[in-house]
Chain A
């Protein structure tokens, strides 16, 4: 069993205009183990994506306090690629497009990065695995032959993120708004992919606005985030409650002094 622990995490970003640091995360605490699916829900602008980027090690985000521990060891000094090889995966909301590099060679490079130089994955084994995973996601060979995310629709990009997840098989996957821009059919396909990973050796942190995704990927725990902190945690019922009451309702229940971005 592996664990991922976020301890009193404070994260700032530098404002491009005035060069000043702005605190986005104000002390996040979270602990999860493989075998568990956690969901983080929260209104826009509350720091959900910042949390995922900070865990992954995006240099645009500065950790000013606290720690992130994988199996009890701090990963804050590790560069992004090392964190990934240690077992973290981030399905991104806006994956980069890389022309000239095919999906296939990219995924092989990613898998081989985790293997010894003299023990690279045999082509046949790789292709067999790719076929299997593509089937789960209703994807064709045509997509894998295309350049990485170039000219992909929003839905195709999300599917491609999940394909990479299935191929790489990390310990922990953070899914950053993987449901945004997906229609109901695509949402089911993506959920099927994530659910196929469920098991004792896999944990996932699902970041979403909407309860809908959680109908298909049922979480073990739900956390509600507002203004850079986790304000409430609970079981799957918490997501349902949120759906009924909205973020404003939860805020008022908890007597929080938070202004919601989308509040009129």
Chain B
């Protein structure tokens, strides 16, 4: 019989925690969840089969990253981490004065234990939700804590860049904890990139967003993990009354990815817009499960996902809209569309609506289709070659999501990334 994760890794986990000088209560979160992980199952997603990816087989989560160089941030507030180590960090002094916290997760555990104990894997993504979250809790080896106090509206965006190191064998288990207290507002921009290509690694990333009443969180993420990185990316949020979370996620990774993503609309009158753009190339598989659950009354959950598939890749969009009994006056809408550029590519768009309340509105649209021939003919009739014409049509197809992203900077970077990934995929 194969030894359990507990037998195999308990010593390493305890040692890693001690090396980090973590308090006992945090070491216990790690060890408890390592124990639980053996009995938990992998999370299931409709039409996404990733069992063979071995995401539940951790390796060297405790190795030290060797990445030291990085691109400077473009925002006024930023944190840059490589393999869990902070390389650079800046927070405007006036924000620090108001009580805004931006720090690496290990410092947060020591300096803000009440906040971490209250929010870390307890309210949004529960540590024992499934095997992967439990492994994450046990072997978390990097990440950040961002805290916006009551009544603070952060004007300039806060940017976090996480460099995953593939020059060494090391699991990449990053945790992002974003807490926005009542009446606060923040724009958070996230980048995941890979450095080096000597090793194949796994990433197990969990981002939690907790919003108080009347808050507004803009969460934009551009994921560019490499072909040799296999990832589980979970980004989830919960809302207070009249709170709003706007997600804009660009899945531009080159490796296999499971995206588990969405919002639980707990507070009455809360609202979420979940926008996803994905491009898959090569032999890559990306499965994206976006789920919004309306618990509170008069809540609004909108999902908009557009993806393009090239070569022999596979892209699955699940859109799950769930309105629970009692969420009167709520609205669940979703649209998932996949554009196929290759006969060898596989695309799927699955709308799933679960409605347990009568007094609601809900709708869905889903399609998997090919490039519009009429548009191609028009562009080519002006002398534009087929590959460029395709990219323009694709850009048009993705634009209905991109134009909805409020930050011009994110829009531009996403557009550039799309161009790069398409050019690679067309070769």
Contact = CB atoms under 8 A, between A and B. Distances in A.
The answer to whether A and B belong to the same complex is yes
Interface of A: 56, 58-59, 79-81, 84-85, 89-90, 92, 95-101, 106, 109-110, 113-114, 147, 164, 168
A81 B386 contact: yes
B384 A109 contact: yes
A99 B396 contact: yes
A50 to B, nearest CB: 15
Nearest to B398: A100
By Cβ-Cβ distance, the 8 closest A-B pairs, closest first, are A100-B399, A100-B396, A84-B383, A96-B378, A110-B382, A81-B380, A80-B380, A113-B383
A84 B382 CA distance: 6
Contacts of B380: 79-81, 84
B381 interface: yes
Interface string B382-419: 11111011001101111110110000000000000000
A95 B385 contact: no
Interface residues of B, number: 26
Given A98-B375, A100-B395, A106-B392, A164 B400 contact: no
Contacts, number: 78
Contacts of A147: 396, 399
A100 to B, nearest CB: 3
Given A81-B380, A95-B378, A98-B396, A113 B402 contact: no
B382 A168 contact: yes
A96 B374 contact: yes
A79 B381 CA distance: 9
Contacts of A81: 380-381, 383-386, 389
A95 B375 CA distance: 9
A96 to B, nearest CB: 4
B372 A109 contact: no
Contact of A58 (B375, B377, B385, B398): B377
Contacts of B398: 100
B14 interface: no
Nearest to A100: B399
A101 B377 CA distance: 15
A110 B384 contact: yes
28 contacts: A56-B381, A80-B377, A81-B380, A81-B384, A81-B385, A84-B380, A84-B383, A84-B384, A85-B383, A90-B381, A92-B378, A96-B372, A97-B375, A98-B375, A98-B379, A98-B393, A98-B396, A99-B400, A100-B400, A100-B402, A100-B403, A101-B392, A101-B396, A109-B384, A110-B383, A113-B383, A113-B385, A147-B396
Contacts of B382: 84, 89, 106, 109-110, 113, 164, 168
Contacts of A98: 375, 378-379, 392-393, 396
A194 B382 CA distance: 17
B393 to A, nearest CB: 7
Nearest to A97: B375
A99 B375 CA distance: 10
Nearest to A94: B374
A156 to B, nearest CB: 16
A42 B308 CA distance: 44
B379 to A, nearest CB: 7
A96 B392 CA distance: 13
A80 B381 CA distance: 6
B65 to A, nearest CB: 38
Nearest to A109: B384
B399 A99 contact: yes
With a 10 A CB-CB cut-off, give which of B372, B383, B385 has the most chain A CB atoms. B383
Contacts of B396: 98-101, 147
Contacts of B395: 100-101
Given A89-B382, A106-B392, 15 more contacts: A81-B383, A81-B385, A81-B386, A84-B382, A95-B378, A96-B372, A98-B375, A99-B396, A100-B398, A100-B399, A100-B402, A101-B393, A110-B382, A110-B384, A113-B388
A110 B392 CA distance: 12
Contacts of A168: 382-383
Contacts of B375: 96-98
B407 to A, nearest CB: 18
A99 B403 CA distance: 11
A147 B392 CA distance: 11
A56 B154 CA distance: 55
Contacts of A89: 381-382
A96 B402 contact: no
Nearest to B373: A59
Nearest to B385: A81
Contacts of B384: 81, 84, 109-110, 113
A96 B377 CA distance: 9
Contacts of A95: 378
Contacts of B397: 100
A90 B383 CA distance: 11
With a 10 A CB-CB cut-off, give which of B377, B382, B392 has the most chain A CB atoms. B382
